[in-house]
Structure 1
Amino acid sequence: MEKSVRNDWVAYVGPFLFPWGQASSRRVYGQAGGLAAAGRHVVVVSGEHGRELTGLPELDGPGSVRYVGAGEIPPDGAGRLAKSVHWLLRWGARTVRWLDAQPTRPSHVVLYGGDAPYAAHLGRWCRRHRIPLVADVVDWYGPRQVPGGALGPLYLSSQLARRYHYPRCDGVIAISSFLADYYRRRGLPVLQVPPTLDVRGLAVSAGPDDDGGSRLRVVYAGSPGRKDLVDTLVRAVDRVNAGAGRVELRIVGPAPEDVRRMLGGGPIPQGVRVLGRLAQQQVSSVLQAADFSVLVRAEERFTRAGFPTKFCESVANGTPVIANLTSDLGSYLRDGVEGLVCRDHSVDALAETLWRALLLTPTDRRRMRAAARARALESFDFRAYAGPLGEFFETLRPGNRAENIPVSVG
């Protein structure tokens, strides 16, 4: 275990868990791996408490990844008032103190999350020390996706970060073309990087047992939040099975009571198994045992701005995807190749696509599995972005931040 950082290093900071625990953890893991593959030495400064500087040897070479907790996330048992004061006034201050305590300054700071308070603290620190600040931007939620709505502090803070603080950074890493286009219009250097993971290091099985193609096994794995239409998945499967189809849907993540609530309090139909939360290794096993994963989202600004990590994880496990095309999925999901494209996010459209999947032969399904895995290796392995990340960081200098050019989004 190392006690100090190197002389030439990149700080990747934010109030997330690391290396595992959240969708944000997976995003930062992939980005840090890409920077290490580009020869950079990365220190991830997460929001956790009580963690010393620790190495991730699986991401070494030619650079390295280490991580440490700055204690930004309020501890368990903290009261609501204490949490609110910390979030409004001190969010990011402990990370700045940690950076100040290091014997050498980082060459760059990358900020993931934290909204306006974090961005304000890190922005001031980077300007004072003339260190390029890069924002890793992965979403643009509307008021309906954030607790408290349009006048709530969470939504106002996120808007202030995306419209004021991030355009004053020295560069942006954007998860989607929607976000990349927005920040390019604001005059910033932008690199677009979708969700990435260690695809090469993921062991993949041969897939589900061949039963002649008469049964279809599909899976949803993740935290739906206010994005993924899990109720649509359940209703579409129930409709197909009522028409003599044989579809089994496994839901990983939500608890049974969560699914019943999504269904308006109704029962969970036969053909739907709710597995609840599983360890990451178990999730991979469930994905690989399925013929398809399924993902449907409404076409709104927040789905255009984000990019579903669930899609990347599915194809990395060699499991093709049934989905409607939101965000940049049209660049990676070709109908009949890496999966099946659903014409929209309705129950009718998904039921039609499930019937199409039932008619596929075992050979068709095996071919799609191979294409899905090939897509993941080409487009979502973190090593694929080592070159672009290395070149992007070489171009960044303090003062790249643009003037305030008013541009609205959607």
Structure 2
Amino acid sequence: MNIAYVGPFPFPSSNANSLRVKGMAEALAMAGHGVDICSSVPSQDMGRGMPVEGVRVHSLNEYDEGLLSGVNRGLRGLFIGDITLRWLHSLSTKPDAIVLYGTHLGYLLRLLPFCEKFRIPLFLDVVEWYDPRHLPGGVFGPFAASNELSMRYFATKANGIFVISKYLQLHFERHGCKTLRIPPLFSFESEKSSQFSKVSGVVNLCYVGSPGKKEDMESIFKGLQSAYEKGANFRMHVVGLTADEFAKDFGMQRLPILENEVHVKFYGRLDNVSAKNIISASDFLVVVRKDFRFTKAGFPSKVAESLCLGVPIIGNLSSDLKDYLLDGQNAIVVGGPNADSFSDAVMRAAALNENELSRMRQLASSSADSNFRVRVFSERIANFIATVR
């Protein structure tokens, strides 16, 4: 089969959406299908060195062309999808199936009739459910209305839906949709980096990503401060924002551990290869999220990526993580999204010896091999597309 994978994502990129698309495309290609990735958001080229073997990549720019593109970029965001539809119409041979990343209403309103006309099954790959408060215009704005309309009605008209979490699976199955739950997928192998010089008794922690509204940075950093005051010896490596950006966004610049780079070092944005090197060199990756609809609907891809690198997690059990993280094995589970619980987890991590850390790395890698590898889901994904009509 020839499969077109389309949507509002940059590719290649270090962004989580691009990495999701890469994993899904690799799984389809591994099963013997031809895949055309049609990215409609310009890439900042942060993802160099991540080509997908056997997959063709097409780059469009939905924001610089099409309806209302010359008026306002934000307003244009409500209507994107027409340039992708034009590309599909231009193909002399239409795809055997189309996978749309996300549930953008502009794409759905165009792809549903297009697929019906050409008798092409339409699949969605749904990885989140936005909180309307976080969208432009807020709860009563047009983006919130568009998102809810697509999630509750138009998305349910697809032939099949890939979902990233149980929360999304239950939502769509209540509407009678055929679903297949697929966590974040990666194909690279784990390899311990020696980037950080080993200092006896110092545990290296890392945070990687763009915090946005998902990460509970207050609990993480106030917890780190508390652990420091209790005598924990650690160094926190922060990838994704600078010290100035952190101070501006979270206002915790007065914490003593932030006064120099002895305990916390900020790297800013890095390409995916450099970010993976920092994760791999660390003893633990940190993820703490509060319990909201958008955190339950999503899945922190950084957890899967870290485990694939053989690096255990310090985090709470948001989303579906209770199915994957085992306390004292591939993770130190934080009791709740608060500073005290995170501080206790850091104290536990700092008390581990080299043999215990090595054992946890091995268990992290083996859990990834069972749960987050492209090869594990390749046949399952291909069969779903082949059989659902």
- The reply to whether TM is greater than 0.5 is yes
Question: Which residue of the partner structure matches residue 353 of structure 1?
Answer: 345
User: What whole-Å deviation, never above 9, does each CA across 1:42-96 have from its counterpart, x for those lacking one?
Assistant: 101111469xxxxx99644xxx311101321338xx988332453333x111111
| d(CA) in 2 for partners of 1:366, 1:206 | 14
Q: Could you list the runs of 5+ residues in structure 2 that have no partner in the other structure?
A: 44-48, 258-262
Q: Do the aligned partners of 2:14 and 2:272 also contact (CA within 8 Å) in 1?
A: no
- Residues 79 and 274 of structure 1: CA distance in aligned 2, closer, same or farther (over 3 Å): farther
Query: Which shifted more, 91-100 or 108-117?
Result: 108-117
The TM-score, its normalising length taken from structure 1, stands at: 0.87
1:218: how far off? 0.5
2:28 is aligned with what amino acid? L
In the other structure, the counterpart of 1:181 is: 170
Matched, 1:319 2:306: no
Q: Give the whole-Å Cα distance in 2 for the aligned partners of 1:318 and 1:312.
A: 10
Matched, 1:363 2:355: yes
Is 1:169 matched up with 2:161?
Answer: no
Instruction: Please report how far the alpha carbon of residue 153 of structure 1 lies from its aligned counterpart in structure 2 after TM superposition.
Output: 2.0
- For structure 1, list consecutive stretches of 5 or more residues without a partner in the other structure: 1-7, 51-55, 398-410
Partner of 2:132: 143
- Rounded Cα–Cα distance in structure 1 between residues aligned with 2:98 and 2:340: 47
Written as runs of structure 1 = structure 2, the 5 A alignment for 1:240-319 is 240-264=227-251, 266-267=253-254, 269-270=256-257, 271-319=263-311
CA contact (8 A) 1:207 1:291 kept: no
Higher deviation after alignment, 370-379 or 37-46:
370-379
Q: Which of 68, 72, 75 is the aligned partner of 1:82?
A: 72
Q: What is the correspondence of 1:23-42 to structure 2 with a 5 Å cutoff? A: 23-42=16-35
Verify the 8 A CA contact 1:341 1:353 in the aligned structure 2.
Answer: yes
Moved more, 253-262 or 170-179: 253-262
CA contact (8 A) 1:36 1:65 kept: yes
1:336 touches 1:368 (CA, 8 Å); kept in 2?
yes
Distance 1:98 1:314, change over 3 A: same
8 Å contact from structure 1 (residues 143, 150) kept in 2: yes
1:19 is displaced (CA, Å) by 2.0
Counting aligned pairs with the same residue, the percent is 33
SS in structure 1 of the partner of residue 77 of structure 2: helix
| TM-score, normalising length: structure 2 | 0.91
Mapped partners of 1:237, 1:70: distance in 2? 43
How many residue pairs get matched? 377
**Once the 2 structures are TM-superposed, how far is the Cα of residue 165 of structure 1 from its aligned partner?**
1.2
* Aligned equivalent of 2:46: none
Q: Tell me how far apart the structure 2 counterparts of residues 74 and 222 of structure 1 sit (CA, whole Å).
A: 27
**Contact 1:298/1:345 (<8 A) preserved:** yes
Aligned amino acid, residue 160 of structure 1:
L
CA distance, structure 1, for counterparts of residue 270 and residue 148 of structure 2: 33
Partner of 1:5: none
CA distance in 1: counterparts of 2:208 and 2:50, whole angstroms? 28
> In structure 1, what is the Cα distance between the partners aligned to 2:388 and 2:351?
52
